[in-house]
Chains A and B, each alone.
Chain A
Amino acid sequence: MIRHSARIRVRNLNVHYRSLHVLKDLSVDIPANQVTAVIGPSGCGKTTFLKSINRLIDLDEEARVSGEITVDGLPVLGSGVDVTEIRRRIGLLSQRPFPLPMSIYENVAFGPRIHGLSNGRSFDQLVEYYLRVAGLWEEVKERLDAPAAKLSIGQQQRLCLARGLAVEPEVLLCDEPTSSLDPLSAQHLESSLKDIKRDHTVVLVTHVLRQAERLADYVIFLYMGELVEHGPAWDIFNNPQKPRTQAYVAGEFS
């Protein structure tokens, strides 16, 4: 068995929104180059957890975050941290795709234009490469200059994936990325995610248990802001230890 090093280390993570205690003392290690599914009923803090990892939670003035998160040893929380660099290294695929108000080409090239090109590839090569990774190239190669907003929702989500990968993050956070997609597009995206874990650590928030079963190598179960159980996916789904996990996995509540 290959031993994976822990890429994301979370210690005593607490998040408050005003008087609301949303995440309660979370400590967990998220393994590298695997898909880690964060599951739990809605309102349990899954999205808040994701947004703490890439500091998008900073955009909410009412959120207070404490604790420690490191990605490959690099601290994420704290005021001295370069947030833009953190977010470059930790990409996000959100619930509903929001392409940028520009062409398909420029959407993918946006990140590299801002952060600079790496390893001497041209923009054209880069755009083609990431559109291929996201499985969109064949559908759009004839109309790269068309507005991204003209694509279907499923295509937009794959474009957002290409756009996110183009800044070469080490971690990709996915917040229910298939929830607004039709079944076929969802399937498309899932198969891309399976390929992507070769080079990236994937954290997938989902409320679809089946999806977690299909994709996850590792599972974190949250309930009302608390970490109930975490472990390899097979263990969680087939041999959960805690009664709440058993009930949730059995579909007794959702």
Chain B
Amino acid sequence: MKRETLWRIEETVMRVLMIGATALALGCLALILGAVVWKGLPAMNLAMITQCPQGGYYTGAGGGILNAILGSLYLAGGATLVALILGLPIALYLQVYAGRSGLIELVRLALDVLWGIPSVVYGAFGFSLMLLMGLRASLLGGVIALSLVELPIMCRAIEEVLKMVPFELTESAYALGTTRWEVAWKVVVRQALPGITSALLLAFGRGIGDAASVLFTAGYTDHLPTSPLRPVASLPLAVFFQLATPFPAVQQRAYASALVLTAIVLIISILSRLASTRLSRFVVK
């Protein structure tokens, strides 16, 4: 066979494989979204997102999941903030300050391992931590556990972004007589800002969708969150509890809750995209 024909076959096979894989992944996503919308939409109404559960909610009577919506936003928002406050310095340290050494690689390995640990373990760990601190299931406890879940993602994602900052850029900043801190904070972070926004989104998305870590630590309640020391509801647990009931009407509302959760993630994604575009105005290529 001619070499050109071989190349053409090779090209076609690879192309089909790549397109096939993409189609499969998108197809699965579309199916999941479709199922959530299909099953959840009939139960969607204004009361779902503006009211707390009324009496008899779990047997099919009125009310909504405002408690879980607000609770989830507080939990994931708080945890993302904590993870950013802790994660940004860690990433800056790994990327700007620490050179190459075995210890630093160990830190990276540790973060990767932490990333892979199932979140129920974080929940259990957070729970024993809370017992030690004399804390009960609460917003605070949930934020602590969830921030542990988000931290490795945040660190590694930011670090990957910082890695993309050209060495020559930091070099030319150093050449102006700046300290490491000034280079890290005023140059590297500014250059990486759009990417850091994406890291935030990644961590937030993981946080808001996680059920296992908040199960013991945040608890659940039918009321709106009022104090960091009181239990708080969350959307993943709302989905879980409602699905676990034997009533079809309530199960339908579980899908409506999942729809709300998906919508929140979608809105946050779009917002972060917009922010990222705005922030990349000054980025040096």
Contacts and interface: CB of A to CB of B under 8 A. Distances in A.
Contact of B187 (A85, A86, A96, A101): A101
B281 interface: yes
Interface residues of A, number: 31
Given A100-B169, A103-B282, A149-B285, A84 B175 contact: no
Interface in B161-195: 166, 168-179, 182, 186-187, 190-191, 193
B183 to A, nearest CB: 10
B284 interface: yes
Nearest to A100: B187
Contacts of A184: none
B177 A167 contact: yes
A87 B285 contact: no
7 contacts: A54-B175, A85-B177, A88-B176, A92-B175, A98-B168, A101-B191, A167-B177
A56 interface: yes
Contacts of A61: 99-100
Contacts of A100: 169, 172-173, 186-187, 190, 284
Contacts of A231: none
Interface centre among B100, B179, B282, B283 (most CB of A within 10 A): B282
Contacts of A115: 177
Nearest to A92: B175
A89 B100 CA distance: 29
A114 B168 CA distance: 20
Interface of A: 54, 56, 59, 61, 84-89, 91-92, 94, 96, 98-103, 110-111, 114-115, 147-149, 160, 163-164, 167
A88 B166 contact: no
Contacts of B169: 98, 100-101
Contacts of A96: 168
B174 A56 contact: yes
Contacts of A85: 177
A59 B281 CA distance: 28
Given A87-B178, A89-B177, A111-B176, 20 more contacts: A54-B175, A56-B171, A59-B170, A59-B171, A61-B100, A87-B174, A94-B175, A96-B168, A100-B169, A100-B173, A101-B187, A101-B191, A101-B193, A101-B283, A114-B177, A148-B284, A149-B282, A149-B284, A164-B176, A167-B177
A104 B60 CA distance: 62
Nearest to A91: B175
B171 A87 contact: no
A147 B283 CA distance: 8
Contacts of B283: 101, 147, 149
A87 B282 contact: no
Contacts of A86: 177
B166 A84 contact: no
Interface in B182-225: 182, 186-187, 190-191, 193
Nearest to B168: A98
A147 B176 contact: no
A94 B177 contact: no
Contacts of B281: 147
